Structure 1
């Protein structure tokens, strides 16, 4: 593998001065330095010997067995350059799309509170929570297919189709009077429609930036926090003033109109020059990816618990009003916006994986140290602030980690593969928490549910640390 100087020159097509000369023995020593060649643009990998195929094959053979090479070529789908004004227009379009797709899902806690306390008081918490859980799970399953479709069809059209389905789903849900029908409309149908803007809005921003990728992704993904914040407050107000049916109709019309309006800018910049496989299963050969996927499962499992349970917890345990409980979700969504932006701003300098680990520590502390032992208004506000900030940063940096470690060209399908982890996390999160609340806490004692919730970010942290150890054992290094 090494030449006579013991060095390998890797040329990446991202502009000038991109030659990276790395000691060959560093590439495999402790699996620390360059562990894969990421497919970040067309003609991604060439070598100093006029892109000699022999040297490329030698490089591949010299890597550890569990490290795989990503795709080496990708085609540009547009003549628009990265990092320009058009790229920021794409970021804004992704922000709006995520604001409505994930933001509405984040606001489900208000519906959960309304169903539990007013509309379906005889139903168990676990049954009611399945409406929101179905919404998220179908979004994840649909995301697997959406990632594949985004690589083969115009994402602008796919985004528009998703917008129409989202709107129809909520308008149809407004006429439903049973939990079962709400699962079909508010849950299944809406999740299917939202999967298109979800996967596109998550994966597209990274393709349009080479210099401020973390910041751009953080801004785009802040849309989900913005949506969760204003949708939580707006949904509570609409239900109180107009009733649940008209609240859903208004939500459906707004979501459909807004996502349709920005769909012309929802376009990919790179498409892979590779196979027609639905999912890039070769990624499961990469030990780093396996650690990342397992960590993601636990992170997503922890994500929705506080959003779903804090509104009713505020009423039943702290004896606050329903509006106060809804405001706690609004506050948490607001802090998640700050977390997304701060982490996005720092990711390019500090390293996205480093920040993902740090934010998971903060999430674990907020639940395990603050919420588990205390039942006071002050500690709940502290949990709201710390967890909201931390989990917002976690969500925003996940696509950046995927892009940095595994490459850009097939990022939509890699994100689609990660949605298997999102799906598993959805099953591992809210349903068991709700079952514990029903069967152990008898719908009023949240201790067992909160303790279970608190252990999830701890488990995620363990696997993130293992992933980082595989990449490098040096502490003060950007990863």
Structure 2
């Protein structure tokens, strides 16, 4: 059968991360060798029509410079969003004590939702225009948003600046930093992507501590000005290295909306919705929970966010190291199960200091691995050439997850828990990763029914 691999003997070998020409066009083939683990490849036919955007080789020194640039860009985009729990605590307990937790949470929620909506557009733009220029534009808008927010004295003003405007700017380094790393590596793709995406955890970790210290010493306005200026300068500095290596052919310059009719994509999208919904709840509410329920100081509460972000870095790096040998989807399933267990078995059942620390450790590690491996799973299942556009489409799931996560949880805290009883909100948070896990198990069954397959 010319032009199609029958599954007998050695499979055709791919080079440079591209699908070999004699694979079938259906985009999915599985080869089970003599080894205990079977290697499974899922490569989209879009790779066959890809063009090289640069003569820089993959897996080389320049590729690692790109990873560093992505690390910094994510550290100062999504990392700042991860640290919003400090602002949530400050607004809720000090600056706007009469406002509901739901209203205050919308500042950070709008910030993230706009990043996701902008991600769909920026994924398309990254395939048409120079990502280095787009990253630099995003840096300027990010910085301007926080400086403008420093002069706001109302929740509405903060929602427009710290939320809306910052989300617009951050969407460019967010989508570029998330999608570019998979294109620059073939041998250590999981590790490289894990290192790049660990930037968000590092950013959340040090920005949480730095924001707490700045608010205490110079006040919230100057804390925002310093944050905006640092973010702008750092992302501008690394923008020259924020470039793609593979682009679709010129005839393919459009968002691939056909993906929304792909059953595998829809199932992955469902898993992403609930995973993202589960992501921000603990980061937003654990600081105030520490103060209200455990009667700890505000600084101690913000340290819980720092601890979660620190473990999320460890999770990203660990998953990156293991993804190439164990399989990214296998690890995504394992980490989602760990996130569910950490909330259901610990935070739901106990309200002690030791338990909260354990939740921060386990959930931080698990959620870090989840966010770092999603782009690797997408690249493996759908191919490399359209990965910015595909990640952009997945941001629809990020957007839906943002709506499904913090706002309902905060409403439960306000209306059922009366801002003091977190039980209903914690139960809600705990069920979200369970739903994500169910979607991931369905996706794995769609790809293969063999339990011991690396995928």
Provide the TM-score with structure 1 as the length reference: 0.89
1:426-474 deviation digits (Å, cap 9, x = unpaired): 0000000000000000000000000000000000000000000000111
* Partners of 2:81 and 2:204 within 8 A in 1: yes
1:89 partnered with 2:56: no
1:252-302 deviation digits (Å, cap 9, x = unpaired): 000000000000000000110154665211112221111100000000000
Unaligned runs of 5+ in 1: 39-68
**Distance in 2 between the 1:142 and 1:368 partners?**
33
Residue 217 of structure 2 aligns with which residue?
241
**Distance in 2 between the 1:156 and 1:3 partners?**
39
Pick the aligned partner of 1:468 from 439, 444, 453.
Answer: 444
**Distance in 2 between the 1:329 and 1:70 partners?**
40
For residues 180 and 394 of structure 1, do their structure 2 counterparts lie closer, same or farther at Cα, with a shift above 3 Å needed?
same
1:203 partnered with 2:175: no
1:317 partnered with 2:293: yes
Residue correspondence of structure 1 range 345-364 to structure 2 within 5 A: 345-364=321-340
For residues 4 and 18 of structure 1, do their structure 2 counterparts lie closer, same or farther at Cα, with a shift above 3 Å needed?
closer
**Distance in 2 between the 1:451 and 1:331 partners?**
22
For residues 365 and 324 of structure 1, do their structure 2 counterparts lie closer, same or farther at Cα, with a shift above 3 Å needed?
same
For residues 15 and 191 of structure 1, do their structure 2 counterparts lie closer, same or farther at Cα, with a shift above 3 Å needed?
closer
What is the number of residues matched between the two proteins? 445
Pick the aligned partner of 2:369 from 380, 393, 402.
Answer: 393
1:426 partnered with 2:426: no
Residue 438 of structure 1 aligns with which residue?
414
> Is the partner of 1:291 in helix, strand or coil?
helix
1:181-203 deviation digits (Å, cap 9, x = unpaired): 00000000000000000000000
> Is the partner of 2:419 in helix, strand or coil?
coil
**How far off is 1:107 after superposition?**
0.3
Unaligned runs of 5+ in 2: 32-37
**How far off is 1:5 after superposition?**
9.5
Aligned-pair Cα RMSD in Å? 2.3
**Distance in 1 between the 2:170 and 2:23 partners?**
44
**Distance in 2 between the 1:230 and 1:90 partners?**
22
* Partners of 1:238 and 1:247 within 8 A in 2: yes
Residue 353 of structure 2 aligns with which residue?
377
Residue correspondence of structure 1 range 93-172 to structure 2 within 5 A: 93-172=69-148
Residue 285 of structure 1 aligns with which residue?
261
> Is the partner of 1:189 in helix, strand or coil?
helix
**Distance in 1 between the 2:19 and 2:440 partners?**
32
1:213-245 deviation digits (Å, cap 9, x = unpaired): 000000000000000000000000000000000
For residues 260 and 332 of structure 1, do their structure 2 counterparts lie closer, same or farther at Cα, with a shift above 3 Å needed?
same
**Distance in 1 between the 2:319 and 2:6 partners?**
37
Provide the TM-score with structure 2 as the length reference: 0.94
**Distance in 2 between the 1:349 and 1:71 partners?**
23
> Is the partner of 1:426 in helix, strand or coil?
helix
**Distance in 1 between the 2:331 and 2:375 partners?**
13
**Distance in 2 between the 1:306 and 1:124 partners?**
18
**Distance in 2 between the 1:202 and 1:5 partners?**
32
